[in-house]
Structure 1
Amino acid sequence: MEKLFIAFLGMAWFAANAASAQPQAPRPPGPVLMVHFDYYPKDRPDITALEHRLQNAIQRAGVGALGESELHIDGNDGYLYMYGPDADRLYAVTKPLLQSSRLMSDAEVTKHYGSRTETFALHRRHAQ
């Protein structure tokens, strides 16, 4: 009887370990482009409109996707996250929209290239 119980425990242990060894679904890659900007709570409708323009441009160009934006509750720090295979192509598509937005005056852009990053200030392009 004891041998049967030990055999049962061994099979149960093997089954549990085999189930946990199943390949896990790959985690989504991190953002390749992040834009940090300052805003006021009254700016939320303008942020939403910019998000829609960015999403449409990114999809039309086929360069990635706009992730969820992060807007801090205190109403001063905002982050736009964008995903795609190529940070430079994604930035080339989104740069004109970002530069044309008053909300993005002196925003900080970070491009991710694997473990390397490049961060710089985005200066607003003024209408002439």
Structure 2
Amino acid sequence: MHDQQSIIVHFKGWIDSLEPIHRLTEQLREVLDNNPLGLLDGHEIAMDCSHGYIFFYGPDAQLLFEEIKSILIKADLLKCTKAVLHQGTTTEIIISL
């Protein structure tokens, strides 16, 4: 997987339940199922639910981001969000949503 690019979505803001993040990741997985642009690798949530991360991998982080961007923007639980696109060994793009 070393030739894969990645996107790490970091969100802040307390959530009172894990259900919204599970619904969001299911929606993202549906978009990416059988899609050559990439895959959702999972998520991590802080023990106090104050912030978390969603991880994506694919051959082109920019194209993958364009595919999932509208879903991330519409997600109510993703306040104060940024996406970090890792493209190869030297390029990192930070996008605020």
Regarding TM over 0.5, the answer is yes
Q: Does the Cα contact within 8 Å between 2:5 and 2:88 map onto a contact in 1?
A: no
1:65-101 CA-partner distances (Å, limit 9, x unpaired): 1012011112111000001101011101100100111
Q: Quick one: higher RCO (CA 8 Å, sep 6+), 1 or 2?
A: 2
Where do 4+ consecutive residues of structure 1 move more than 2 Å? 28-31
Higher strand share: 2
The one-letter code matched in structure 1 to 2:85 is K
Give the 5 Å matches for 1:36-115. 36-115=10-89
Q: Does the Cα contact within 8 Å between 2:44 and 2:54 map onto a contact in 1?
A: yes
1:12-33 CA-partner distances (Å, limit 9, x unpaired): xxxxxxxxxxxxxxxx336611
The one-letter code matched in structure 1 to 2:25 is E
**36-45 or 87-96: bigger deviation:** 36-45
The one-letter code matched in structure 2 to 1:101 is A
1:61 deviation in Å?
3.3
**Rg larger for:** 1
Higher helix share: 1
1:22-56 CA-partner distances (Å, limit 9, x unpaired): xxxxxx33661110002434241010000000011
Aligned residues: 95
Unaligned residue ranges in structure 2 (runs of 5+)? none
Question: TM-score, normalised to structure 2's length?
Answer: 0.87
Identity, in percent, stands at: 25
Unaligned residue ranges in structure 1 (runs of 5+)? 1-27, 123-128
Give the 5 Å matches for 1:113-124. 113-115=87-89, 116-122=91-97
Q: Work out the CA distance in 2 between the residues paired with 1:103 and 1:39.
A: 8
